[in-house]
Amino acid sequence: MENYILEESYISPIAKPKLTGKSLLRSLKLIKRALTVEKLAKQYKLGQSNINQLNKSNLQSTTDDKSNLQSTEVVNSSLNELNDMNLDIHLTRLVKRGVLDVTKSLRKGIIGIVLIASDVHPIDVVSHLPILCEELSISYAYVTNKRILSDICQSKRPTCAVLIVKPVKDLPNKIKKLSENNKLDYTKLYHKVDQNIKKCHPYL
């Protein structure tokens, strides 16, 4: 990540404020952590759907015997447990990638932090994002280039913009269902990045 700080290419004239140094590294760390939680949530959801399908097939194969009724009750109880542990679909969509996805999410009222590549040309591609963010009081800032965003998002295509969704209040409890790693909670990191952007922002 440190190598990206020194990289300079075309810089858009509207790229203000531009994150550098520790501020840039912190924002990239935020994206990475949110993506990790998102990936774990997707894996959990996939495993959950597989178990649900298996249990449904077991229910269909049961007959009216007393013994099979007992097995049906066991399956039903396991399904109820899964429903109790069901995670919000919100956790599988923590990072929005690309100008279209970010724009659509903002217009739907999703709150978060928007990071825009400062080397996007022509600027018309992303020029509407700062205006939209200011109208919605959403923090936004510029990062070094498209490559830094595409690499952190593990995308082969250049990524012009990213939206990190604001963490829900009970995020730590939801993460506990996914992993024992307490460091995955990005709530404090999110607020640090948000406050830092607002401090140096000329328009917010």
pLDDT tens digit sequence for 95-112: 999 999 999 999 999 999
- Res 54: pLDDT: 54
Domain covering 2-40+89-200 assigned CATH 3.40.50.720 in the classification:
no
pLDDT of residue 169: 86
> Residue 69's pLDDT is what?
47
pLDDT digits 0-9 by tens, 59-69: 555 545 444 54
104 contacts: CB under 8 Å, gap ≥ 6: none
Per-residue pLDDT, 28: 96
Q: Mean pLDDT for the chain?
A: 81
DSSP state of 13: T
Q: Strands, E, within 12-168: which ranges?
A: 95-97, 112-117, 139-143, 161-165
